Amino acid sequence: MIPKSIPLRSKEMFQLAMRHRSATPKVQDSYERLEFFGDSVLGLVVAQYLYEHHPEWDQGMLSKAKSSVVQEGPLAETALKLGLDKYLELSMSEEATGGRLRPSILADVLEAIIGAIYLESGLENARWFVLEQLNPYLAMISTGDVSPNDHKSKLQEVAQSIWRKTPLYRVVSESGLAHNRRFRVEVLFDNEVMGVGEGRNKKEGEQAAAQDALAIIERAQSAERVRQQHEP
């Protein structure tokens, strides 16, 4: 059954968009090709929206804004909001390792849905769906904060203020097929790992690692504040 929030008529198309590569021996029976197509549709729709609604922004601002919306975090959050995790078709091993709630898979299926909507009913319906679902993120960047998810810049500022040092990033592993790669990235200070993250490309992996490091720093600072409050 297709959720009411998904403007698709074809049950077969919806099922295809929900089927992970691990659940079928044939790539054409998984969502991978739809996800590849939907990624391009998504990028086009968001780029056109930003171009039309922010004539005062230069190429750099437009690029940062687009990257803030078209990335794993917002897409995965949107997929969860739509309840797509309940419809995923995964292998037993992928299910056992938490694939149903893995951000990379959730982001992929949302892009697959976008591709399916385009193929079934055209660009305008796909555009309507994208803009409606991603409206909170588009509204956020419209305030001028074009990089609300730029954890790398935030970590750079924190590191400079605390240690007067710059974080370094390194890719520690790559996995997946050529068109569906996963990059695992570490962020280091003085050769000490402070955060680890994964993404569909190096940039997303670095952002995830920076976010992890920021969370660790915040927990340490909170613990220190509590300790100071309880000192005699």
Express each pLDDT in 183-201 by its tens digit: 999 999 988 999 999 988 8
Residue 189 within any structural domain of the chain: yes
pLDDT digits (tens, 9 = 90+) for 99-151: 899 888 999 999 999 999 999 999 999 999 999 999 999 998 888 777 767 78
Structure tokens at 7: 């403007």
Between CA 52 and CA 59, with CA 54 as vertex, the angle to 5 degrees is 95
Q: Which of 141, 114, 158 is nearest to 57 (CA)?
A: 141
Q: Is 111 marked active-site? A: yes
pLDDT digits (tens, 9 = 90+) for 26-74: 999 999 999 999 999 999 999 999 999 999 999 988 988 898 899 888 9
Residue 94 within any structural domain of the chain: yes
Q: Which residue of the set 39, 89, 204, 206 is catalytic? A: 39
29-32 long-range CB contacts below 8 Å, 24 or more apart?
31/108, 31/109, 31/112, 32/108, 32/177, 32/179, 32/180
* Structural domain span for residue 159: 151-229
Q: Which residue of the set 35, 94, 111, 204 is catalytic? A: 111
Residues 36 and 128 in one domain: yes
Residue 160 within any structural domain of the chain: yes
Q: What CATH number is given to the structural domain containing 155?
A: 3.30.160.20
Residue 205 within any structural domain of the chain: yes
pLDDT of residue 91: 94
Q: For residues 51 and 48, what is the distance between their CA atoms, to the nearest angstrom?
A: 5
The number of folded domains in the chain is 2
Strand partners, 170: 186
Residues 31 and 138 in one domain: yes
Residues 17 and 130 in one domain: yes
Q: Residue 52's CB: how many other CB atoms inside 10 A? A: 8
Q: For residues 228 and 224, what is the distance between their CA atoms, to the nearest angstrom?
A: 6
Residues 46 and 138 in one domain: yes
Residue 35 within any structural domain of the chain: yes
Q: Is 157 marked active-site? A: no
